[in-house]
């Protein structure tokens, strides 16, 4: 049983363009497929998936660092999805790479090794999708020093 339920409503506007309603207090977001299917007047479903993964990882990293009263801002995250054909020749997201960048040098952050070893385990979206889509995580500090690169755990233990 889930702890809570999230509801999002999509209302078709024209062809592949939909208005996405999250809640009364949240502005409506328009999504659309790129040309030639749609008109590209909003993010595509794959772009929204990338945004969800990046947002969740960024939130998890920020939350974990703030627990130790650390200020890594401004964080940046880039998520790249590889889209290709599966064995049935259908388009699928084959893999994703998330690159997080801290806004400060690693040396300025206490407990960083501990945070980096576990923060993604608390990312609801990434942990959910990484069970079926391989996700690689990279973390860099503001100087460009790579702090972490590895595939996320794709099998959750019961």
Residue 112, pLDDT > 60, answer: yes
Spatial distance between the Cα atoms of 79 and 36, rounded to a whole number of angstroms: 24
Going by pLDDT thresholds of 50, 70 and 90, the confidence category of residue 153 is low
Asked whether the bond before 138 is cis by omega within 30 degrees of 0, the reply is no
- What does the pLDDT average to over 136-144? 98
Position 98 scores a pLDDT of 98
Contact (CB, 8 A) for 78 and 54: yes
Position 75 scores a pLDDT of 98
Whether this model's pTM surpasses 0.75: yes
Determine the CATH number of domain 45-151.
Answer: 3.30.300.20
Q: Structural domain boundaries of the chain?
A: 1-43, 45-151
Position 74 scores a pLDDT of 98
Position 157 scores a pLDDT of 41
Residue 155, pLDDT > 60, answer: no
Position 56 scores a pLDDT of 98
Q: What is the largest CA-CA distance in the chain?
A: 51
Residue 152, pLDDT > 90, answer: no
Asked whether the bond before 74 is cis by omega within 30 degrees of 0, the reply is yes
Contact (CB, 8 A) for 109 and 70: yes
Q: pLDDT digit string (tens) for 10-69? A: 999 999 999 999 999 999 999 999 999 999 999 999 999 999 999 999 999 999 999 999
Residue 158, pLDDT > 50, answer: no
Q: pLDDT digit string (tens) for 68-106? A: 999 999 999 999 999 999 999 999 999 999 999 999 999
Spatial distance between the Cα atoms of 154 and 48, rounded to a whole number of angstroms: 21
């Amino acid at each position: 049983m889930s702890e809570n339920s999230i509801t999002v409503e999509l209302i078709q506007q024209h062809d592949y363009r939909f208005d996405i309603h999250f809640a009364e207090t949240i502005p409506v977001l328009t999504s659309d497929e790129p040309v030639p299917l749609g008109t590209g007047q909003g993010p595509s479903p794959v772009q929204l998936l990338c945004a969800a993964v990046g947002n969740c990882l960024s939130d998890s990293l920020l939350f974990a660092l703030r627990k130790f009263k650390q200020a890594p801002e401004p964080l940046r995250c880039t998520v790249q999805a590889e889209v290709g054909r599966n064995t049935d020749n259908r388009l699928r997201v084959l893999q994703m790479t998330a690159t997080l960048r801290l806004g400060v040098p690693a040396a300025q952050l206490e407990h960083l090794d501990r945070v980096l070893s576990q923060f993604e385990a608390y990312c609801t979206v990434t942990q959910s999708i990484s069970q079926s889509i391989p996700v690689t995580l990279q973390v860099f500090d503001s100087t460009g020093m790579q702090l972490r690169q590895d595939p996320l755990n794709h099998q959750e233990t019961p």
